[in-house]
Structure 1
């Protein structure tokens, strides 16, 4: 799904797969844990994490305070994941690219 956004590349990031736009990571995926991590603003993080904290929750360290949010892929509803991933992309992408994605919504 992440690769459908404009100018996204997939690259290794330690033991995970990262998804980047203009060399900035907006999401990673850990195949072993079946868990995604996405970069959100503080406000967006609080909105997405306001539901079931066993599905979407902040990373439990300084990265979480910077908006990094974990998503349990076996528990999350596909529409919720798509919204969260789109928001992460738009958080990191240059304004011009983010606007293109928002127009498609």
Structure 2
């Protein structure tokens, strides 16, 4: 079972990550945002590919679910912090962080 403090500690431990407000959330960004913490601090949105999202949601449906909108179809996924071990959260953050280290193609 992890918490918002665990998410923050693990995310800030990833190379180049900074923390900043993002609307009503807290964003974690390398080159691009790869994770945001919900205002209630109980869940986070993580950037996966659609294939990674499908895998995570099948593997642990109590912990991961697609965001129910266009962002979700792009791979953004809700992670329920209390349903994740620290190891699972670290792995998910590292996966999302890789997407946050790449500049957007124009």
Which structure is higher in strand share?
1
Please name the residue that 1:56 is paired with.
Answer: 64
Please name the residue that 2:28 is paired with.
Answer: 19
**Contiguous gaps of at least 5 residues in structure 2:** 1-9
In structure 1, distance between residues paired with 2:51 and 2:27: 23
* Cα distance change on mapping 1:55 and 1:19 into 2, 3 Å: same
The structure with higher relative contact order (CA 8 Å, sep 6+) is 2
Please name the residue that 1:102 is paired with.
Answer: none
Equivalenced residues, count: 94
In structure 1, distance between residues paired with 2:48 and 2:67: 11
TM-score for the superposition, normalised by structure 1: 0.82
In structure 2, distance between residues paired with 1:42 and 1:32: 26
Runs of 4 or more off by more than 4 Å in structure 1? none
Alignment of 1:1-105 (within 5 A): 1-22=10-31, 24-94=32-102
Cα root mean square deviation, aligned: 1.5
In structure 2, distance between residues paired with 1:9 and 1:58: 24
TM-score for the superposition, normalised by structure 2: 0.81
Could you tell me how far 1:52 is from its partner in structure 2?
A: 3.1
